[in-house]
């Protein structure tokens, strides 16, 4: 593809989508990789495939009114961006967090197109959410919010149309309330309309663990490709939610030692290794704060209020909290402290500057759209089980997940080689993800 076209397109995307810096960042990152296609695929340029891909197929913004425990009416804003359905129904999570806005949902939805393509499974890309903060809300408040959210969203969903799942602030509790309301309004037990469901009502074993497990498995493959392994490695993990907890669990199973966890208040450093049972109890059962971990763990564990987790020396970094949490300054510190590999559990946690510093230092960098694809891949496996009215064992499902992560790793490296950027996982992920979607779009004509 001629260089000018990419530059032009980037400018147009920025002009057409003002004040959406995260979306611009995600588009810039993918388009910069597509330069490596050179003139090899004029058919994509002729059909303006990239321009089409940067425009969501459909964007929904809606009011979500609900009543809090004091009887006061609250109003939030809901979003669903149905970005691309070339490979299957729109698929991507819902995020409930006060920072949510259209630009953040668009960045996540855009990333999801390429991620879902990389899994090799028949799923398109989408994302949604609301600027609702579940922290500090009662179960009843969360239920009323979810019911109101689904009362609007249900008309756009369906197992062949759009299939949401969880993300930040949306776990099994929220998925339960959302599914209950969908079932009530439609009078249909349509299991395949949401993933991340409870095990007794259509959920899949391993879905809860899948994103974190997949990220650690991907990092293990990256280490193996440079002749290393997790054995004895000190691993820094950020976040203490769904992705972080199960990344830590798999790191320990693979022989590494996870020594950090964090939340928006600060981080804990536990040189003896994170006590996973304690972490799960505090974060999953009690919905508490990470500060409590250090108090209850005692020993050498310490809590650093408002601290940056990337100050801790580590061999492997797994950022698993949120976008742009690891900047250039942190990357430089990590490199200085001997970092060997970074794999993203979160979506776009490393800034552009951080990625450039890793590249300069020769530290392999696994982008989220490859390294955290295990979650959505297992969601697609959940959809398969729902369609078959079947449920697979933990061992079988985990074996499928492991194979998918290995395939994605291999695809990234092989594609990076093919386009003359050996070892560049981001380049490999973007091009491989893009080409599959692009070829399907070409086949469909201008629709």
Catalytically active residues, by annotation: 127
Tell me the closest approach of the beta carbon of residue 231 to ligand NDP, in angstroms: 26
d(CA 179, CA 164): 10
Tell me the closest approach of the beta carbon of residue 11 to ligand NDP, in angstroms: 28
Return the number of the residue (308 or 332) whose C-beta is nearest ligand NDP: 308
- Is residue 88 close enough to count as binding ligand NDP by CB under 6 A? no
Tell me the closest approach of the beta carbon of residue 372 to ligand NDP, in angstroms: 4
Helix (H, G, I), strand (E, B) or coil at 390: coil
- Is residue 433 close enough to count as binding ligand NDP by CB under 6 A? no
d(CA 111, CA 343): 16
Tell me the closest approach of the beta carbon of residue 420 to ligand NDP, in angstroms: 30
Best CA proximity match to 225, nearest among 424, 429, 433, 431 = 424
d(CA 361, CA 299): 35
189-218: contacts with ligand NDP (CB under 6 A) = 211
d(CA 257, CA 87): 38
CB–CB of 365/425 below 8 Å? yes
Beta bridge partners of 268: 261, 303
- Is residue 364 close enough to count as binding ligand NDP by CB under 6 A? no
- Is residue 350 close enough to count as binding ligand NDP by CB under 6 A? no
Which segment (226-234, 316-324, 408-416, 433-441) binds ligand NDP by CB under 6 A?
316-324
Q: What is the DSSP string of 62-104?
A: EEEEEE-TTS-EEEEEEEEEEEE-SSSSEEEEEEE-TT--HHH
Which segment (51-59, 292-300, 320-328, 425-433) binds ligand NDP by CB under 6 A?
320-328
d(CA 120, CA 381): 12
- Is residue 125 close enough to count as binding ligand NDP by CB under 6 A? no
Alpha helices in 97-206 (DSSP H): 102-118, 139-153, 172-186
Buried b / exposed e over 7-44, threshold 16 CB at 10 Å, is eebbeebeeebeebebbbbbbebbbebbebbeeebeeb
- Is residue 347 close enough to count as binding ligand NDP by CB under 6 A? yes
Q: Mask 159-188, x = binds ligand NDP (CB under 6 A)?
A: -------xxxx-------------------
Is 161 flagged in the annotation as binding?
Answer: no
Tell me the closest approach of the beta carbon of residue 435 to ligand NDP, in angstroms: 22
- Is residue 345 close enough to count as binding ligand NDP by CB under 6 A? yes
Is 38 flagged in the annotation as binding?
Answer: no
Residues that bind ligand NDP (CB under 6 A): 166-169, 211, 239-244, 263-265, 320-322, 345-347, 372, 375
């Amino acid at each position: 593809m001629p260089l000018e076209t990419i530059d032009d397109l980037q400018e147009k995307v920025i002009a057409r989508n003002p004040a959406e810096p995260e979306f611009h960042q995600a588009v810039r990152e993918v388009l910069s990789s597509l330069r490596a296609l050179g003139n090899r695929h004029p058919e994509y340029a002729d059909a303006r495939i990239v321009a089409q891909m940067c425009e969501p197929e459909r964007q929904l913004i809606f009011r979500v009114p609900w009543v809090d425990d004091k009887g006061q009416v609250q109003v939030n804003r809901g979003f669903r961006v149905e970005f691309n359905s070339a490979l299957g129904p729109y698929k991507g999570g819902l995020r409930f967090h006060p920072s949510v806005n259209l630009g953040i949902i668009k960045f996540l939805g855009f990333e999801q197109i390429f991620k879902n393509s990389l899994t090799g499974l028949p799923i398109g890309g989408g994302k949604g959410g609301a600027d609702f903060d579940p922290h500090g809300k009662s179960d009843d408040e969360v239920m009323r919010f979810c019911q109101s959210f689904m009362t609007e969203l249900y008309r756009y969903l369906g197992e062949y149309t759009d299939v949401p799942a969880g993300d930040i602030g949306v776990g099994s509790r929220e998925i339960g309330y959302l599914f209950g309301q969908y079932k009530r309004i439609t009078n249909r037990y349509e299991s395949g309309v949401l993933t991340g469901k409870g095990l007794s009502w259509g959920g899949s074993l391993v879905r809860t663990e899948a994103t974190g497990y997949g990220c650690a498995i991907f990092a293990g493959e990256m280490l193996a490709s440079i002749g290393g392994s997790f054995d004895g490695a000190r691993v820094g993990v950020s976040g203490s939610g769904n992705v972080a907890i199960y990344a830590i669990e798999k790191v320990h199973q693979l022989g590494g030692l996870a020594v950090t966890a964090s939340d928006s208040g600060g981080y804990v450093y536990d040189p003896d290794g994170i006590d996973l049972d304690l972490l799960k109890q505090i974060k999953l059962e009690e919905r508490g704060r990470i500060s409590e971990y250090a108090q209850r763990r005692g020993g050498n564990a310490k809590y650093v209020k408002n601290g940056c987790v990337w100050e801790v020396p580590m061999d492997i970094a797994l950022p698993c909290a949120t976008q742009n949490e690891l900047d250039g300054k942190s990357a430089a510190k990590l490199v200085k402290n001997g970092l060997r590999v970074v794999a993203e559990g979160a979506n776009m946690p490393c800034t552009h500057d951080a990625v450039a510093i890793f590249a300069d230092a020769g530290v392999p960098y696994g982008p989220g759209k490859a390294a955290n694809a295990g979650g959505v891949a297992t969601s697609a496996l959940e959809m398969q089980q729902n369609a078959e009215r079947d449920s697979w064992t933990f061992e079988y499902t985990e074996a499928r997940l492991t194979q998918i992560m290995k395939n994605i790793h291999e695809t990234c490296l092989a594609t990076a080689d093919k386009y003359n950027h050996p070892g560049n996982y981001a380049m490999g992920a973007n091009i491989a993800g893009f080409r599959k979607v692009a070829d399907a779009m070409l086949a469909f004509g201008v629709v």
